[in-house]
Structure 1
Amino acid sequence: MEEQSEVIEACLQKWDFNWLLHRATQRVGAAYSDEIAKFGISLRGQLVLQTLANEEIQRTQLKLGAMLGLDKTTLTSELDKLERAGLIVRVPDPNDRRVRTPVITDKGRELQKEAGDALAEVERAFHSRFSPEEMAIIRKALQDLSRGEGPVHGSCI
């Protein structure tokens, strides 16, 4: 175990920006994935539920996918899982039968709230490593990087 720690420390010292971001994403993502799995959904599922729970405006599947950075196939698969679990329903558009609008159910809203609270605890654990000032700098830096120019490939999660 000590040998593995030495290898990780040596890698951290390389200061390769891409590697550091990737490694940090792996650590944070693993913590979130482990927690959300307790609720029987994925991080993508939670992202969809959170968006549906917080949006006053109903969005078609196409608009929801664009907003979340999820391609059509990925979003459809996730919506299928959420619908089978009774967490959402897809309502047909009265003007175009090809268009569906995902709507969160009461069961979905309840699960999203519980899962969201649990994930907030995971986030607080990461925040506790930093001062409020450091967290403000980290958040701003990540927001700035997220707004960067150039193409964005793949799903956001």
Structure 2
Amino acid sequence: MSEVSKDAVDAIIDQWAAVRPDLETAPMALFGRIFRIDRAMGDAMERAYARYGLTRGEFDVVGTLRRSGEPYTLSPRQLSATLMLTSGGMTGRLDKLEKAGLLCRRPDPHDRRGLQVTITDRGLAVVDEAVAAGLEVQRAALSGLDEEEAAVLTGLLRKLLAGI
């Protein structure tokens, strides 16, 4: 990989070094970049999904149903646990997605008090296009890395996440 010029995080690190040379700022340099990547990629993914009438959070719901496999049905509780959402947050997303015709809620035949959420045919079509568009954004973001660098970075981030 070719050398990359200094970035905004380097400027922050340099400022800290000037006023607090006693600090070891390597963690700040790493996490500062992770946070900036998260923000930039979050915005890019929002734009990609917006073309399909979805926010990132809504994509997460229909994407979770899609990747669960046939019959593309989960309970609201399963969705909330997978997406780490409160029941209220999940209800709002489900309401909007149901109104848009991307999913439907039905009584659970095995639990009179429960519901099942199923992606609709329209929802399947939308999420399949949206996931492809999102992957293209991610692929473009990784274009500065070769395959080996991307694999090493993936492994290192997996290891970092496991340690947190």
User: Over aligned residue pairs, what C-alpha RMSD do you find?
Assistant: 2.2
TM, length-normalised to structure 1: 0.81
- The residue correspondences of 1:85-104 to structure 2 (distance < 5 A) are 85-104=100-119
List runs of 5+ in structure 2 lacking aligned partners. 1-5, 15-24
Equivalence for 1:32: 45
Tell me if the contact between 1:12 and 1:20 (Cα under 8 Å) persists in the aligned partners. no
Shift of 1:29: 0.7
List runs of 5+ in structure 1 lacking aligned partners. 150-157
**Structure number with higher relative contact order (C-alpha < 8 Å, ≥ 6 residues apart):** 1
> In the alignment, residue 24 of structure 1 is paired with which amino acid?
I
Paired with 1:40 and 1:118, the residues of 2 have a C-alpha distance of 13
TM, length-normalised to structure 2: 0.78
Indicate yes or no: 2:138 matched with 1:138: no
Paired with 1:82 and 1:44, the residues of 2 have a C-alpha distance of 11
Equivalence for 2:99: 84
Indicate yes or no: 2:54 matched with 1:41: yes
Shift of 1:78: 0.9
1:12-69 Cα offsets, whole Å, 9 max, x none, are: 7665133222111001111111111111111111111111112136321101211222
Shift of 1:7: 5.2
Q: Secondary structure at the match of 1:103?
A: strand
> In the alignment, residue 69 of structure 1 is paired with which amino acid?
M
Report % sequence identity.
32
Indicate yes or no: 2:62 matched with 1:55: no
Indicate yes or no: 2:11 matched with 1:10: yes
Tell me if the contact between 1:88 and 1:102 (Cα under 8 Å) persists in the aligned partners. yes
Shift of 1:105: 0.1
**Larger CA Rg, structure 1 vs 2:** 2
Shift of 1:142: 2.6
Tell me if the contact between 2:9 and 2:32 (Cα under 8 Å) persists in the aligned partners. no
Q: Secondary structure at the match of 1:101?
A: strand
